[in-house]
Amino acid sequence: MAQYIADRRDIDFVLHDQIQVEELGKTELFADFNKKTVDMIVSEARNLAIKEILPTRELGDQEGCQFENGKVIVPESFHKAFELLKDGEWVAMTEDPEWGGQGMPATVALAASDYLVGANYAFMMYAGLTHGAGKLIQSFGTEQQKRLFLNKMYSGEWTGTMLLTEPEAGSDVGALTTSAVKNDDGTYSITGNKIFISGGEHDLSENIIHPVLARIEGAPEGTKGISLFIVPKIWVNDDGSLGEFNDVVCTGIEEKMGIHGNSTCSLMLGGKGKCRGMLLGEENKGMRAMFLMMNEARLLVGLQGLACASSAYMYAVDYARQRVQGKNLLQMMDKSAPPVPIIQHPDVRRQLMMMKVYVEGIRSLLYYVGLCEDKVKICEDAEEKLTYQGIIDVLIPIAKGYVTDRAFEVCSHGVQVYGGYGYIRDYPMEQLLRDCRITMIYEGTNGIQAMDLLGRKLGLNKGKPVMDLLGEIQKSIAMAKDAQGLEDLAEKLEGIVDKLGEVALHMGMTAMSPKVMNAFAFAHPFMEVCGDVVMAWMLLWRAAIASNKLEKGAKKKDVAFYQGQIKSAEFFIYSILPITVGKIKAILTTNGAAVDIDEKSFGG
């Protein structure tokens, strides 16, 4: 059976034609990353992903993680793949070379991760979490802490996690009870229990570095009293050598619906009173530090959704081309007509188009967020930096919440294209659907993403980031109006953008009125509307580029690809955006049935 992850032609299109990543190589910070280098990086990531990591996806799912006497054993195939990942220095692609990173643009790292994460995202979570933990130390740690931990974490010699969730403090992090008591030597004694800790214990590295949220004795209640600590599994001495076991005990792992290859652990800290931590950053500022890292974590979850959706789409297209079933609809009355591949059936093509437009739109969106991150780094003008950061902040809940909702939908369509075969484990769709489901839950459920968009991002900086984003969309609409054959598509999107402005104003005002509960009952539909507009924007932008390429005389091998970009925009804007209009009408009613209903009326 063929093995699929991502379409290299589409990745190159987004990188070079849409994002124009070569422009970053003209700056001092990214001078080493010209087109040749970028292409080489993506090719190397693709080779590693296909040859070494992809074979671990099914094996890891079947074998899972084993829990024995407080230790976690990962699937055997993960060990070689992790060594190769370390050897290639893929753990910290975007970070400062001083600490073992590659100094790569975020956009390029996303393209490489498109393959690496796509090959087996349960496996890549060990590296992704390590990078995130290291980033916290790089951003908030002392020079001593950076010296002790960063090089070994960014090299993958040591791994990392993030310890937030507790049995009674899931989405409500402020309810956590893990405590920290200051010791005479400046360290803190940590006591508490954490659950749902991805990669919390495993046998891939000799040490695991846990950033832990805890409350210092006497600190205020709620999120205002939370601090962040570095808690190594094995204590690290001042000279960098390993000391004693640090009383971080794994008490069990979860049996999950998907991502079986990643260990999801329950951890007990200080059960014997011997768990120590180092304060990371300032006292009572732990949540502020975590929010700074949330954009990266949520973008990674969006990428995980894309990974599942991209594989599902490519498998579905391949299967639809090969699976022969039924006559062509135009030959149904011809008794002698042969059966045809199911890709000729209109409803199968409809499903494939649904998959195609979301995979393409999502890839463009995630890479665009990466480009904005790169612009924040290279812009010298402070106001311009704030503009790009504001666009990132507005797009992140969409890039996590909307994206993973749609990614799961894509995987579900993939199962449907396969029919009964999609539902059994002999084929890849069943695992892709299971693995994708968690992306809608962790790093903040998609309902929380919707609340973040409405409650925090809509009114951020008096609405300037939202207006800046709408300005960027208008640029692509203007570009499409000048492209042959796209005028009507551009006008239709422009009309929806105007309606989006109206509904955003309505939601903002309602959220500050006595009907605040009604507003937040419509937060998720509002996120869907915003996501639909962003998808249409990305697809129209792609179509405008493709139209220009065709008009200038594209190479024969590229014609079908470019024509496909135009059809994607056409399909989305004619078939999906009208549904968005209906959602907007529903939001503008802000009907209170969901919040007004008596709890007893739910039955049960």
Q: Is residue 388 part of a domain?
A: no
Same domain, residue pair 466 and 566: yes
* Mean local confidence (pLDDT), 167-187: 86
The secondary element (H helix, E strand) that includes residue 250 is strand 248-253
Mean pLDDT, the chain, integer: 95
Q: Who contacts 478 (Cβ-Cβ below 8 Å, separation ≥6)?
A: 490
Per-residue pLDDT tens digits for 54-81: 999 999 999 999 999 889 999 999 999 9
Quickly state the pLDDT bin for 3 (edges 50, 70, 90): confident
CA distance 215 to 224: 9
pTM to 2 decimals?
0.96
Residue type at 556 in one-letter notation: K
Q: What is the pLDDT of residue 312?
A: 98
User: Is 428 exposed, middle or buried, given 0-12, 13-18 or 19+ CB atoms closer than 10 A?
Assistant: buried
CA distance 143 to 341: 62
Per-residue pLDDT tens digits for 72-112: 999 999 999 999 999 999 999 999 999 999 999 999 999 99
Q: Is residue 400 part of a domain?
A: no
Q: What is the DSSP string of 214-246?
A: EEETTPPSSGGGEEEEEEESEEE-TTS-EEEE-
Boundary (domain end) residue, out of 269, 287, 305: 287
CATH classification at residue 195:
2.40.110.20
Closest CA to 542 of 5, 34, 46, 11: 11
Q: What is the pLDDT of residue 170?
A: 66
Q: What is the pLDDT of residue 53?
A: 97
Same domain, residue pair 541 and 599: yes
- Three-state SS for 537? helix
Same domain, residue pair 250 and 132: no
* Mean local confidence (pLDDT), 293-314: 94
Quickly state the pLDDT bin for 296 (edges 50, 70, 90): confident
Q: Is residue 252 part of a domain?
A: yes
Same domain, residue pair 477 and 516: yes
CATH classification at residue 47:
1.10.540.10
CB atoms within 10 A of CB 290: 19
Q: What is the pLDDT of residue 1?
A: 53
Domain that holds residue 107: 8-154
DSSP 426: T
Same domain, residue pair 180 and 146: no
The answer, yes or no, to whether residue 156 has pLDDT greater than 80, is yes
Q: For the chain, what is the total number of helices (H) and then of strands (E)?
A: 20, 12
Question: Per the residue annotation, which of 443, 472, 487, 494 is the catalytic one?
Answer: 443
Q: Is residue 366 part of a domain?
A: no
Same domain, residue pair 143 and 248: no
- Three-state SS for 155? coil
* Residue that is written with structure tokens 């006292």 in the block: 283
CA atoms lying within 13 Å on the CB side of residue 450 = 23
Q: Is residue 588 part of a domain?
A: yes
CA distance 162 to 213: 8
Q: Is residue 143 part of a domain?
A: yes
* Contact assessment for residue 249 and residue 268, using Cβ atoms and an 8 Å cutoff: yes
The secondary element (H helix, E strand) that includes residue 244 is strand 242-245
The answer, yes or no, to whether residue 174 has pLDDT greater than 80, is no
Question: What backbone torsions phi and psi does residue 141 show, to the nearest 5 degrees?
Answer: -80, 160
* Mean local confidence (pLDDT), 349-377: 98
* Contact assessment for residue 247 and residue 113, using Cβ atoms and an 8 Å cutoff: no
Same domain, residue pair 13 and 50: yes
Q: What is the pLDDT of residue 340?
A: 96
- Three-state SS for 211? strand
Same domain, residue pair 135 and 261: no
Closest CA to 54 of 126, 121, 129: 121
Q: Is residue 352 part of a domain?
A: no
Same domain, residue pair 30 and 129: yes
Residues of the chain by 3-state class (helix, strand, coil), percent to 5: 60, 10, 25
The answer, yes or no, to whether residue 392 has pLDDT greater than 90, is yes
- Three-state SS for 266? strand
Q: Is residue 13 part of a domain?
A: yes
The answer, yes or no, to whether residue 219 has pLDDT greater than 70, is yes
User: Is 496 exposed, middle or buried, given 0-12, 13-18 or 19+ CB atoms closer than 10 A?
Assistant: buried
For 431-458, letters b (16+ CB in 10 Å) and e give bbbbbbbbbbebbbebbbbbbbbbbebb
Tokens of 325: 């079933």
Per-residue pLDDT tens digits for 485-522: 999 999 999 999 999 999 999 999 999 999 999 999 99
The secondary element (H helix, E strand) that includes residue 212 is strand 208-216
Boundary (domain end) residue, out of 287, 306, 327: 287
Same domain, residue pair 141 and 176: no
Q: What is the pLDDT of residue 2?
A: 63
Active site residue 44: no
Boundary (domain end) residue, out of 287, 315, 335: 287
Same domain, residue pair 537 and 482: yes
The answer, yes or no, to whether residue 305 has pLDDT greater than 70, is yes
Q: Which of the two residues, 172 and 330, has the higher pLDDT score?
A: 330
CA distance 333 to 165: 61
Name beta bridge partners: 522: none
CB atoms within 10 A of CB 314: 20
Distance of CA 437 to the CA centre of its chain: 13
Structural domains counted in the chain: 3
DSSP 401: I
Percent of the chain at pLDDT exceeding 70:
99
Tokens of 497: 């953008």
DSSP 228: E
* Contact assessment for residue 249 and residue 208, using Cβ atoms and an 8 Å cutoff: no
Same domain, residue pair 465 and 495: yes
Q: What is the pLDDT of residue 309?
A: 98
Q: What is the pLDDT of residue 40?
A: 98
CA distance 256 to 276: 31
